[in-house]
Each structure stands twice: as structure tokens, then as C-alpha cells.
């Protein structure tokens, strides 16, 4: 695990939200998972987000989540930092147990889910109070983060919550799903000078958010072409025209997220030889191959490969 003193640069770059491969019986397929990890790393990603919504964490038992995260940490073996969530319970006591269980897996960062902090309709003040209560019961040996997960409902963080996270010096990572550039700019200002990093999940605002000072991307499209996101992150300053062309493609390609995700991403991973199946727990994916979605994904990938070859060549 990377050392604490490296935290200022640890939570930057491209962070795929990891898929969980299942076999035909919908049990975790660890052989496929090992291939997926190596595929991410070969693309040059800077970190991995395990046990998140893309991992179908709400459809995993606590035991499965802990085994999954422990496997990922061991497989990565310190090559990049790993953060994980698995924060799905309703009661505070169970949430504490879940989070402490994941913390013991060896992750660099433990990610809380914003919609677990308060019920839909409850106030931002209640959510912040719950966050403070949970934080006090989590080990100081692991960094903390928050994910504005859209399921079962999306709770965006208030400015007061972002400011508290920055000032606490416990929080290093926000997976930002506000999809709103003015809000991102405001959050960057609130976290300036702290250990807190924003990881934008939205491809449409990504380049502009980098230009505003955002230092990370953690979104679903890194399950399709992570190498393009890596290039954008590493080269947008020095190759602005190519970066704009690539960002325009990525913003459009990201609409594929609505083509039955995560089934579309799992089907793609099956086609490239990483996954044995495209089985999901979150939904029935049996009929996916008979839709027009695979052809659309194939077209998206061909366009990306062609553009990537032109944009990223020396």
C-alpha cells in the first residue's frame, strides 16, 4: 500500500469504477476479475475503485464484498492505489461494520456513499451529522472518501459537507457526480490546499473540469477505453487541440452508458476476452446480445480506436 505522505499525489489521474464479473451461476468469477485488473493496469490507469455501483455492490453480500476487495488488493499488489466502498446498509451500526470490514482488506481509501447518510428528503445538515458520526468510528489508518452514488437515489454533497471533508484532513477523494461545471469549480475552491481531490465522473464536463483544476476522473467509460482517458489526463496541457478533439469524442461516446449498463460493459469485456459471461445481478442481461446495443458499442469502439491512433501518436 502506498505511504500516507504520498497522499497529495495518490488520488489523481484515471480511476475506473470496477466491474464484477459473474459466472453462469452469478457467482463471482475471480479468473475473469484477474484478467480485468491486468487490462486496466496495461492501459496505464492511476488507481482502481472497487466495490462501487458498477461492481453491483448493492447486490453483493458483505462477505462477498470483503472477499472481492481483498482479492483486488492482493492482485494489484501495490502497483496502483485501490479505494473501495461496499457501503450499502441502512442502519448506522451495520454501516460501521461494513466499512470497517472493507477497511481491513488493505485498501488505500474507504469510500462512503452519500445517500446512505440520510433518507431522501432529509436535510443536508442531517447528512453531515451522520457523516461526522460515521467518520469518528472508522480507523484513522485508512484514507476516506465519498461517492455521490445515483442509486437508490442521488444525494449531492452540500458546500458545507465538502468544506468539512476538506478541513477534516481525513477525506482525500470525492467521486463527483454533480455533472455541473460551476458546482465543480466551487468544490475545487472549497478543497483548495487540503488533501481532498475531486474525481469527476462525467465525461461531458471532463476536459473543462481538468482546466478548472480537477485532478481525476472516475467514471464508467473507463471500462471501455481507459487508455484514451489516461492520454487526455496526461496530455491535455501540452496538446490542447488533440485533447479537445478527444474530449469531444469521449463526451459523445459516454452516451453509451445508457445502453443497458453494466451489461454493455460486461459484454464488451467478454468480446475482448476478459470475461467469460456478461451476466449481471443488477438486471437480467440474457437478452442483451439480441438488441442493437452491441453493434452501437462496436461502432463506438472503432471510432475511438481510429481517433486515438491519430490523436495520441507521437
Domain ranges of the chain: 4-237
Mean pLDDT of the chain: 96
pLDDT class of 3 with cuts at 50, 70, 90:
very low
pTM assigned to the model:
0.96
Question: Over the stretch 243-288, which tens digit does the pLDDT of each residue have?
Answer: 999 999 999 999 999 999 999 999 999 999 999 999 999 999 999 9
* DSSP, residue by residue, the chain: ---GGGHHHHT-EE--B----B-TTS-B-HHHHHHHHHHHHHTT-S-EEESSTTTTGGGS-HHHHHHHHHHHHHHHTTSS-EEE-----SSHHHHHHHHHHHHTTT-SEEEEEGGGSS-TTS-HHHHHHHHHHHHTTS-TTSEEEEE---SS---PPPHHHHHHHHHHS-EEEEEE----HHHHHHHHHHHTTSS-EEEE--STTHHHHHHHT--EE--GGGGT-HHHHHHHHHHTTT-HHHHHHHHHHHHHHGGGGGTTTTHHHHHHHHHTTS-S----SSS--TTGGGSSHHHHHHHHHHHHHHHHHHHH--
Mean of pLDDT values over 3-18:
79
Whether domain 4-237 has CATH 2.60.40.1840: the reply is: no
Of residues 31, 36, 92, 34, the one with CA closest to residue 222? 36
Amino acid at each position: 500500500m502506498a505511504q500516507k505522505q504520498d497522499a497529495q499525489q495518490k488520488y489523481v489521474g484515471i480511476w475506473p469504477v470496477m466491474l464484477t464479473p459473474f459466472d453462469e451461476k452469478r457467482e463471482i468469477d475471480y479468473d475473469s476479475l484477474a484478467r480485468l485488473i491486468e487490462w486496466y493496469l496495461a492501459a496505464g490507469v492511476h488507481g482502481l475503485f472497487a466495490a462501487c455501483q458498477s461492481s453491483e455492490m448493492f447486490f453483493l453480500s458483505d462477505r462477498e464484498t470483503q472477499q472481492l476487495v481483498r482479492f483486488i488488493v492482493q492482485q494489484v499488489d501495490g502497483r496502483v492505489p485501490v479505494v473501495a466502498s461496499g457501503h450499502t446498509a441502512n442502519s448506522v451500526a451495520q454501516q460501521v461494520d461494513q466499512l470497517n470490514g472493507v477497511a481491513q482488506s488493505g485498501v488505500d481509501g474507504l469510500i462512503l456513499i452519500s445517500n446512505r447518510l440520510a433518507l431522501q428528503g432529509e436535510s443536508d445538515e442531517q447528512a453531515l451529522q451522520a457523516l461526522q458520526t460515521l467518520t469518528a468510528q472508522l480507523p484513522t489508518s485508512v484514507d476516506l472518501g465519498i461517492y455521490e452514488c445515483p442509486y437508490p437515489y442521488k444525494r449531492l454533497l452540500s458546500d458545507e459537507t465538502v468544506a468539512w471533508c476538506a478541513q477534516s484532513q481525513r477525506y482525500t477523494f470525492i467521486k463527483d457526480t454533480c455533472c455541473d461545471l460551476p458546482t465543480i469549480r466551487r468544490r475545487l475552491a472549497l478543497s483548495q490546499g487540503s488533501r481532498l481531490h475531486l474525481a469527476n465522473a462525467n465525461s461531458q464536463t471532463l476536459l473543462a473540469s481538468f482546466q478548472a483544476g480537477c485532478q481525476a476522473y472516475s467514471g464508467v467509460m473507463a471500462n471501455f477505453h481507459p487508455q484514451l482517458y489516461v492520454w487526455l489526463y496526461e496530455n491535455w496541457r501540452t496538446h490542447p487541440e488533440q485533447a479537445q478533439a478527444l474530449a469531444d469524442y469521449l463526451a459523445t461516446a459516454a452516451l453509451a452508458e445508457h445502453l443497458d449498463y453494466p451489461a454493455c460493459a460486461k459484454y464488451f469485456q467478454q468480446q475482448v476476452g476478459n470475461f467469460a459471461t456478461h451476466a449481471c445481478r443488477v438486471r437480467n442481461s440474457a437478452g442483451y446480445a439480441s438488441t442493437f446495443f452491441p453493434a452501437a458499442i462496436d461502432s463506438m469502439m472503432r471510432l475511438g480506436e481510429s481517433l486515438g491512433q491519430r490523436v495520441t501518436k507521437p
